[in-house]
Amino acid sequence: MKRTAENQRKVVAVRVNPQIEQRLRLLAELTGRRQSFFLQQMIEGGIGAMEDTWLPPDVLSRVRSGTMPSRQQASDAISDLFGSSLPDQAS
C-alpha cells in the first residue's frame, strides 16, 4: 500500500532505561527484526489497556467509536519539543 498523508506513520521518541534498551536490542538482533517492529507491537498491543486505565469513560467511548478528534484544540494544549500538542497539565 502506498503511503499517503492519511496513512503515513508518525515518529515518536521515547526514553527508556538502559536495561530495557539492552533487552530490546537483544530481541531485535536475535530475531532479525528491527527494534521499531517490537516497539510498534508493544504499543499496539498495550494502548487499549492504557486507555482503559487512564481515560474517563465518556472519552474512552468516543475514542473507540472513532468520534474523538485526533488532537486537542490548540487553545487547550501546549507544544512539546517536537511541535506536537500536549494537554496543558497543572502542576
Span 10-65, pLDDT tens digits = 899 999 999 999 999 999 999 999 999 999 999 999 999 999 999 999 999 999 99
On whether residue 58 sits in a domain, the answer given is: yes
On whether residue 57 sits in a domain, the answer given is: yes
* Count of the separate structural domains present in the chain: 1
CA distances from 31 to 6, 13, 14 (A): 31, 23, 22
Sign of CA dihedral 69, 73, 76, 79: positive
Could you give the CA distance from residue 73 to residue 85 in angstroms, rounded to a whole number?
9
Could you give the CA distance from residue 85 to residue 40 in angstroms, rounded to a whole number?
21
On whether residue 25 sits in a domain, the answer given is: yes
Instruction: Report whether 51 contacts 63 (CB < 8 A).
Output: yes
Domain containing 33: what range?
15-66
Instruction: Report whether 71 contacts 85 (CB < 8 A).
Output: yes
On whether residue 79 sits in a domain, the answer given is: no
DSSP conformation class of 89:
-
On whether residue 88 sits in a domain, the answer given is: no
What is this structure's pTM? 0.65
